Structure 1
Amino acid sequence: MSLNYDEIVRTGLARQVAETIRSAILEGRLKVDQRLPNEEELARRFGVSRPTVREALKRLAAQNLIRSRRGPAGGNFVTRPDPEGVGQAIAGAATLLVGLGAFEVDEIIAARMETEAACCRMAAVNRAEKDLEAMAAEIALQRREDLSDEDFCASDVRFHRALVDATANGPLRLMMYTVIESFIPVTNMLIYRHRVRRSAVDAHERIMRAIEARDGEGAAVLMREHLEGMRGVLAEALERRGGGTGTQA
């Protein structure tokens, strides 16, 4: 087994053990489905207690890097990281940063403009009928007059998620998870309190129609215009809330 059991400093031991095993997994020195030594053996090799090893293994399991199996042939096994699980972890950290005001609204809008324009171009090439159907379903929902602001925001997230799915590009979908799951809800809850639904839905429909026609550049231009319009509404919403340029409530 290719692990370096040396150089474990006597502070934050569980974290260090977890990081050592994590590095071995990510660097390919530990293979998918390979069984780790048992807790007693890991404790002996690392020179730490079994509770420390147990805590380290919990950390790795929370990161979806190992899984446990019971029984005579059981133990802790290296697992293939799940892209959605990784995306959720990244988005969770990003959501916390957004909530703490770590990013300015202009930064968020600029990031969305660049990344979602790229998604529009790729979606126009790779989209399938199911992707168009998913976007159309959210647009129909968004046009309902009785839809609450919170449900409208949730539908908006699903619309953009469907657009990203239409790219059929795994790495891009993973990267966009942060943008969709953490940036969009924060800006939406500022915007849709000020009732700009109709223009947002119309923009969504124009973007979808361009993707349906496989007009990637046209869809990208429409996305940029949609988000640029959002910048102005955000500025107005923030001013009404008492000024400031950050996203903190």
Structure 2
Amino acid sequence: MSLEIEPVAQHSLPRQIADQIRQAIIDGSLKADDRLPTEGELAVRYQVSRPTIREALKRLGAQNLIRSRRGPTGGTFINRPSAMDLSDALTSATTLLVSMDAFSMEDIAQTRLLLESNCLRLAAKHISEAQLELLQRELEQQQDTTLAPEQFCASDVRFHRLIAEAADNALLSFIMFSVIEALQPISNMVTSRYMERSVIIDQHTRILNALQQKNGDLACEVLAEQVSYLTEMTHQAKRNKLGSSA
């Protein structure tokens, strides 16, 4: 194990220490299952208090980069985060930024359209009968008129996650999962009072039909229609909100 210790400034010490350890993991100086020095040893090396080290380790733990184990062979060890862990972290960060209006609706719509269009074209080539069946089940659930808005939105998210999975590209699916989980629920809940479910269901039906026909271009055309529709509904929701608060 090799851990380079660099002096840190006095402001935001826990964050800087956590960033140094995280960088050591990224560049390979620290590897999965390596044991970190104890809190006391780290405090001496960094010339900070133990509570500061404890806070830095909490930051790393929140990112699932380290794990603790008790007992004679215990200690703090470098974790091997799974793709799901990293996707969850990316989703959380993206959700926070979206909720703070860090991105415009145009940015969100364009990003989703670019990424999911690629997913659809790949899915048209690789989708299995089992995956088509799962999409059909989600579509049937969406057609249930007694479905609560949050249940409809959850089914919508699952529908688009299935498309990302069917692309059969691990990295693209990883990125797309984060986009879907972060952006779509917010977009759906904003527009749920304004969008017509029948429009979404019709669009999903045509996307499914296009995938059944292995026609990626047609599926992309329908997706573009859906993204445009949802963007307009979001703008309408914001206009109405501004009007009611005036």
Give the conservation status (yes or no) of the 8 Å contact 2:195–2:230: no
Matched residues in 1 for 2:121 and 2:241: separation?
36
Give the conservation status (yes or no) of the 8 Å contact 2:67–2:77: yes
Matched residues in 2 for 1:9 and 1:120: separation?
48
**Partner AA of 1:190 in structure 2:** V
Cα drift, residue 27 of structure 1: 1.1
Q: CA RMSD in A?
A: 2.0
**Partner AA of 1:137 in structure 2:** R
1:173 maps to which residue?
Answer: 173
2:8 maps to which residue?
Answer: 8
**Partner AA of 2:27 in structure 1:** E
Give the conservation status (yes or no) of the 8 Å contact 1:127–1:167: yes
**1:172-191 alignment runs, 5 A limit:** 172-191=172-191
- Runs of 5+ unmatched residues, structure 2: none
**Partner AA of 1:115 in structure 2:** L
Specify the SS of the correspondent of 2:76: strand
**Partner AA of 1:216 in structure 2:** G
Give the conservation status (yes or no) of the 8 Å contact 2:6–2:46: yes
1:246 maps to which residue?
Answer: none
* More displaced stretch, 59-68 vs 8-17: 8-17
Specify the SS of the correspondent of 1:67: strand
1:247 maps to which residue?
Answer: none
Q: TM-score, normalised by structure 2?
A: 0.91
Specify the SS of the correspondent of 2:168: coil
Matched residues in 2 for 1:36 and 1:89: separation?
23
Which is bigger in relative contact order (C-alpha 8 A, separation at least 6)?
Answer: 1
Number of residue-to-residue matches in the alignment = 244
Specify the SS of the correspondent of 1:241: helix
Please list the CA deviations of residues 26-58 of structure 1 after superposition, one character each: whole Å capped at 9, or x if unmatched.
111111111112222222222222222222111
Identity of aligned residues (%): 43
Matched residues in 2 for 1:104 and 1:50: separation?
42
Question: CA 1:195–1:53 in 2, change beyond 3 Å: closer, same or farther?
Answer: closer
Cα drift, residue 195 of structure 1: 4.4
Residues 1:225 and 2:225 aligned together? yes
Cα drift, residue 82 of structure 1: 2.1
**Partner AA of 1:238 in structure 2:** K
Specify the SS of the correspondent of 1:68: strand
Matched residues in 1 for 2:44 and 2:90: separation?
33
Give the conservation status (yes or no) of the 8 Å contact 1:207–1:222: yes
Cα drift, residue 173 of structure 1: 2.0
**Partner AA of 2:8 in structure 1:** I
Specify the SS of the correspondent of 2:101: coil
1:102 maps to which residue?
Answer: 102
Give the conservation status (yes or no) of the 8 Å contact 1:160–1:180: yes
Matched residues in 1 for 2:220 and 2:23: separation?
38
Please list the CA deviations of residues 177-233 of structure 1 after superposition, one character each: whole Å capped at 9, or x if unmatched.
332112111221232212410111111121122223322222222211221233333
Q: TM-score, normalised by structure 1?
A: 0.90
Please list the CA deviations of residues 128-176 of structure 1 after superposition, one character each: whole Å capped at 9, or x if unmatched.
3332222222111100111112211111111111111112222112211
Matched residues in 1 for 2:58 and 2:239: separation?
45
Give the conservation status (yes or no) of the 8 Å contact 1:5–1:46: yes
* More displaced stretch, 21-30 vs 206-215: 206-215
